[in-house]
Amino acid sequence: MKDLETIKITDPSGKEIEIKVITVLKKPNEDKSFLLYTFDAEAENVDIYASVIKEENGSYVLDSITEKDDWDIIQKAIKELSE
């Protein structure tokens, strides 16, 4: 995988973790955005994770994706990235 931007996030226990940003997707006609990321961009088979990006109290928070149409957008993007 090409060089990816690294950002630090804080998990619920307060521990800082580095993640590699693959891309940010915006849901059409809505203010909802998704972050596609990985923990190890150097591995031969990279696990891709996805989260909803929410703004809370002036900070960005990664949250679970729960809606089926959101997962459809994510799966389409991952398929396009893998081609």
Domain tally, the chain: 1
For the four alpha carbons of 77, 79, 74 and 18, in that order, the dihedral sign comes to negative
pLDDT of residue 1: 52
pLDDT of residue 55: 87
pLDDT of residue 14: 86
- In this structure, what DSSP letter does residue 30 have? S
Domain membership of residue 68 as a residue range: 5-82
Which residues have C-beta within 8 Å of that of residue 82, sequence separation ≥ 6? none
pLDDT of residue 26: 92
- In this structure, what DSSP letter does residue 45 have? S
pTM: 0.82
Nearest-angstrom CA–CA distance, 47 and 42? 11
- The three-state secondary structure class of 48 is coil
pLDDT tens-place values along the chain, 83 residues long: 557 799 988 888 889 999 999 999 999 888 899 999 998 767 777 889 999 999 888 888 899 999 999 999 999 999 998 87
